[in-house]
Structures are given as structure tokens and as C-alpha cells.
């Protein structure tokens, strides 16, 4: 097998959650470019079709599924739909919500809601996907540099959920890599051009970018390339690892 062949996903189905926009959509298109058919899942079903059209434009199949990953039964339905398309080889857990609330004012309901999507939702989706990965596969969890460093925002729930996701990644890697042949890794993005960063207060990103060794925002396609590496046989000896894609934020 040649080097470039290891980056191919021909004949495999990939599930991408949070595929309606931003980083999730970019990851889905990237997976299609290397040969995967896609199941695209998100709560905002009306926005999935644009991603699906981009996938189909590359000659790959795409199914859109409205899904709330906090519901384990819905996650199992997403996996069942994927199996109908072919052998499931990849899950990218990109669904997530941002939250910046001072800890002194954050309600229990809000804190739980962030963890339910960002952490528990990834767990339920990983369970569902692993159950149908009959010949092994790869799971990529999209965490955040907020799991590793403070970004200067009041993000207790978000940071806790993303840090928990790194622990979940390691544990699932130990449980599933040898027994099921499923590698589980994570990527921790810094500041990328996305819907989520577009919601930040004006001027905040400028201050962050100024101190980066690579002084700019990341492009969604750059994160997609990192995800592709972890999703394919190119990273066949990696499991339980986290790749930090942050323009150098965590080394400053």
C-alpha cells in the first residue's frame, strides 16, 4: 500500500455530527474528498442540505439526519442509517455548543446542558457507532484548547466538557483499540474561522491572534486535514492521542 493510499476512505461510510456548518461541515467535505460516503447529522436539519450538496458534488453519497446527540436512541438511529449505506468506518464527533457565563451566575441547568451536548453526546454517539463498526474504524472527537488552557473567557462548563472529552478519548481507546480495532483520538482546535468564533465579542479575537506564533485564525479546511489524518490509516499507530491545532496558542 502506497503512502497516499493510506489517506483514502473508499468504500467506507463516515458519520459526522455537527455537520450543518463550520468545522463539522468542512470535515464532512474533506472526508468525501478522500472517498467516504457521508451521514450528516445535526439539530438544524435545514442547514444540512448545503453540506450534502457539497459532498454529492464530489461524487459521494450523503444522507441528512436531524439528530440531537443528547438522546442515545437518536444516536443509535443515526448509526443504523449509516449501516444501510455501507460499512461504517469513521465517526467524527463535531457537535458542540459554546458557552461563556460567569461561574457565580451559571445555573445548574445551563451547566448540565453544555455537558450533555459536548461530552455525553459524544459518548452516546461513540457507543452507537462502535456497535456497527464490524471491521474496526476510527473515532475522532473534536475537543478544544479550552480543555488545556484558559482563553480568558468565563467558560467553566465549556472547558470542563472539552477536558472531559479528552479523558473519554483515552479511556475508549484503551477499551476498544485492541478488542474492537477502533482507534479513538481527539483534536483540540484553537481559534478557527467558524460560526462559533463569529459570536465572540468584537476585538476579542484580535487580541488572541496577536500573540500567536502563527498570527491568524485557522481555516476550517486546515482542521479538516488534521481530522482526515486521524480518520484514515495514515494514523494507524495512533490511539488515545490528542493533536492540538491552535497556531501555537498553548505554547505561548
The answer to whether position 252 is within a domain reads no
Give 65's strand partners: 41
218 assigned to some structural domain = yes
**pLDDT value at residue 84:** 97
- The pLDDT of residue 187: 98
Question: Scanning the structure block, which residue is given the C-alpha cell 468504500?
Answer: 11
**Given this model, what pLDDT does residue 210 score?**
86
Let me know if residue 19 belongs to a domain: yes
Tell me what pLDDT residue 196 has.
Answer: 64
pLDDT for residue 108: 96
- For residue 140, the enclosing domain spans 4-245
Q: Provide the CATH number for the domain around residue 191.
A: 3.40.50.720
| Block residue for cell numbers 444516536 | 75
- Stated pTM of the model: 0.95
- Whether 250 is in a domain gets the answer no
State the DSSP H helix or E strand holding residue 94, giving kind and residue range, or none if neither. none
DSSP secondary structure letter of residue 136: B
Mean pLDDT by 10 residues, the chain (252 residues): 93 97 95 98 92 98 97 98 98 93 94 97 98 97 95 88 98 98 97 69 74 93 97 98 96 88
Q: Domain tally for the chain?
A: 1
Question: What 3-state class would DSSP assign to 244?
Answer: strand
- Convert the pLDDT of each residue in 57-110 to its tens digit: 999 999 999 999 999 999 999 999 999 999 999 999 999 998 888 999 999 999
Q: From the candidates 111, 123, 124, 158, give the one annotated as an active-site residue.
A: 158
Note the pLDDT of residue 117.
97
Q: Is 237 a catalytic residue?
A: no
Whether residue 251 is contained in a domain is answered as: no
Amino acid at each position: 500500500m502506497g503512502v497516499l493510499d493510506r489517506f483514502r476512505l473508499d468504500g467506507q461510510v463516515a458519520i459526522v455530527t455537527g455537520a450543518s456548518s463550520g468545522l463539522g461541515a468542512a470535515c464532512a467535505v474533506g472526508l468525501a474528498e478522500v472517498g467516504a460516503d457521508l451521514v450528516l447529522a445535526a439539530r438544524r436539519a435545514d442547514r444540512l442540505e448545503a453540506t450534502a450538496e457539497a459532498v454529492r458534488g464530489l461524487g459521494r453519497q450523503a444522507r441528512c439526519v436531524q439528530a440531537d446527540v443528547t438522546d442515545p436512541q437518536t444516536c443509535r438511529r443515526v448509526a443504523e442509517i449509516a449501516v444501510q449505506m455501507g460499512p461504517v468506518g469513521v465517526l467524527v464527533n463535531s457537535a458542540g455548543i459554546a458557552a461563556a457565563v460567569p461561574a457565580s451566575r451559571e445555573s445548574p441547568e445551563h451547566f448540565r446542558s453544555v455537558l450533555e451536548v459536548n461530552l455525553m453526546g459524544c459518548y452516546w454517539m461513540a457507543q452507537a457507532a462502535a456497535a456497527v463498526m464490524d471491521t474496526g474504524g476510527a473515532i475522532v472527537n473534536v475537543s478544544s484548547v479550552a480543555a488545556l488552557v484558559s482563553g480568558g473567557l468565563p467558560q467553566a462548563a465549556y472547558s470542563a466538557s472539552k477536558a472531559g472529552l479528552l479523558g473519554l478519548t483515552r479511556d475508549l481507546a484503551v477499551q476498544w483499540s485492541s478488542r474492537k480495532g477502533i482507534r479513538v483520538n481527539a483534536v483540540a482546535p484553537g481559534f478557527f474561522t467558524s460560526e462559533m468564533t463569529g459570536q465572540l465579542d468584537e476585538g476579542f479575537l484580535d487580541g488572541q491572534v496577536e500573540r500567536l506564533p502563527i498570527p491568524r485564525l485557522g481555516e476550517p479546511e486546515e482542521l479538516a486535514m488534521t481530522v482526515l489524518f486521524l480518520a484514515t490509516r495514515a494514523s494507524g499507530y495512533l490511539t488515545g492521542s490528542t493533536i492540538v491545532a491552535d497556531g501555537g496558542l498553548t505554547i505561548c
